[in-house]
């Protein structure tokens, strides 16, 4: 049954909220497990729908997967022989499943991964992934809707420079190169903390990697890896969500389990909005002082710049801020779909290409809106908190993909946010 979030406006979020491991790391680490025969144990895994989907993909490849969502533990038994095909029904539901491409080519010499369709936040092709694997010696082509990569004689290290610091391409080159012959040097690599987390796990498994977290990564290939236990890095996007929520709602929130070092660019803008950000022994705290936020300009960039995943929250915060701001989206052309829904709540915005001019209003007004993706949905719930009356956010399943117990977390901060059946006859 389709569900939606029902949000009663007028609440300043106060208290503490915990964040689990990063969705964008946990899913990729599950794919990394394919590189080693034996039992891999991941801890601090978020209890989200996407983990369930990735678990099903690994099962179809021949693995045994046990997922204890309440305790945040995933255990993956990888056999000596595994499959090499990721079907469209799972790739369509979970784009991150393309992370199996590198491990499968490295382990089996072949990978058939369905080409994802369009994405609600813009096109994200696999060209850079394919080019990286070809540089390592794989033959890559698309046939019958699948990206097929073949390296029956194994892979060889190479000098590779990405045209763009793509996170996904960096991950697939890295996970393929660890079992390649010789040395791979990857330039213009993505620098996200999740990349460093993957490299840390691979290193514990026996890989030889240097430079992860910088723009140049070197990998010296090894013959085999060993299954291990690894704790997932904290979710910086979830932490950033609560930081902007505290500022937007004029609240005071401690984000427990977060690492502020992974959010420097974002927290600088939270401070620009007028809130005070302080590190605590358990994470960090955002205190708005009960004041209306000030408008702040935003431009999304690859890490360590401001993350595109937090752009919808900057939009929601600026929608009720004092003054005007320019939001520039440099990474995904369709991410401004959030703007259309914010306008339904009374936001004053104007889109010009990849820019949005936002003129802050004192309060928004409750209305039915629809989530188009994970972050847009969560941002609309936050917008509902600073709107008069009731806001309903359809598409609760999108938010479930990125946030464990989102309504319960909101309630723990004093918000009137609940789930209910969505009786829209056209859903």
Q: Are 397 and 49 in contact (CB under 8 A)?
A: yes
Residue 385's closest CA among 420, 417, 338?
A: 417
- Could you say which of 66, 68, 89, 119 is catalytic? 119
Burial class (CB in 10 A: 0-12, 13-18, 19+), 38: middle
Inter-CA distances, 399 with 125, 232, 402, Å: 23, 20, 6
User: Hunting for tokens 């660890």 — which residue is that?
Assistant: 178
Torsion, Cα of 146, 147, 150, 155 (10° steps): -150
Tokens of 25: 């790391």
- Judge whether 119 counts as a catalytic residue: yes
Tokens of 134: 């070809």
Cis peptide preceding 92, ω within 30 of 0: no
What is the distance between the alpha carbons of residues 115 and 98, in angstroms, rounded to a whole number? 8
Inter-CA distances, 140 with 34, 88, 92, 130, 256, Å: 20, 18, 20, 6, 44
What positions carry a catalytic annotation? 119
């Amino acid at each position: 049954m389709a569900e939606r979030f029902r949000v009663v406006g007028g609440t300043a979020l106060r208290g503490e909220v915990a964040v689990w491991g990063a969705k964008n790391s946990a899913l990729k680490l599950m794919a990394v497990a394919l590189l080693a025969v034996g039992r891999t144990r991941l801890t601090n895994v978020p209890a989200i729908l996407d983990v369930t989907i990735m678990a099903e993909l690994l099962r179809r490849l021949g693995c045994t997967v046990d997922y204890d969502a309440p305790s945040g533990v995933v255990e993956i038994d990888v056999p000596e022989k595994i499959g090499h095909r990721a079907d469209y029904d799972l790739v369509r539901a979970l784009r991150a499943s393309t992370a199996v491409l590198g491990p499968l080519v490295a382990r089996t010499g072949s990978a058939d991964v369905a080409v994802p369709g369009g994405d609600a936040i813009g096109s994200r092709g696999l060209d850079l992934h394919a080019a990286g694997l070809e540089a390592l010696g794989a033959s890559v082509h698309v046939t019958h809707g699948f990206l097929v990569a073949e390296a029956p004689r194994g892979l060889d290290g190479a000098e590779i420079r990405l045209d763009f610091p793509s996170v996904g391409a960096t991950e697939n080159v890295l996970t393929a190169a660890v079992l390649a012959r010789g040395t791979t040097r990857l330039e213009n690599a993505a620098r996200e903390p999740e990349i460093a987390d993957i490299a840390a796990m691979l290193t514990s498994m026996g890989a030889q990697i240097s430079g992860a977290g910088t723009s140049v990564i070197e990998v010296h290939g090894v013959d085999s890896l060993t299954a291990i236990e690894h704790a997932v890095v904290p979710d910086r996007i979830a932490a950033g969500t609560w930081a902007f929520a505290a500022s937007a709602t004029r609240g005071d929130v401690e984000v427990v389990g977060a690492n502020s070092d992974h959010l420097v660019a974002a927290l600088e803008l939270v401070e620009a909005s007028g809130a005070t950000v302080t590190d605590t022994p358990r994470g960090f705290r955002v205190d708005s002082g009960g004041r209306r936020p000030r408008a702040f300009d935003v431009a999304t960039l690859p890490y360590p710049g401001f993350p595109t995943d937090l752009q919808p929250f900057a939009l929601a915060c600026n929608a009720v801020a004092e003054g005007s701001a320019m939001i520039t989206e440099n990474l995904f052309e369709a991410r401004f779909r959030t703007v259309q829904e914010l306008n339904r709540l009374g936001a004053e915005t104007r889109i010009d290409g990849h820019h949005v001019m936002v003129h802050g209003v004192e309060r928004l007004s409750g209305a039915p809106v629809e989530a188009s993706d994970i972050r847009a949905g969560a941002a609309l719930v936050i917008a509902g908190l600073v709107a008069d009356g009731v806001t309903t956010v359809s598409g609760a399943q999108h938010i479930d993909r990125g946030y464990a117990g989102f309504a319960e977390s909101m309630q723990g901060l004093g918000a009137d946010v609940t789930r209910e059946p969505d009786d829209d006859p056209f859903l």
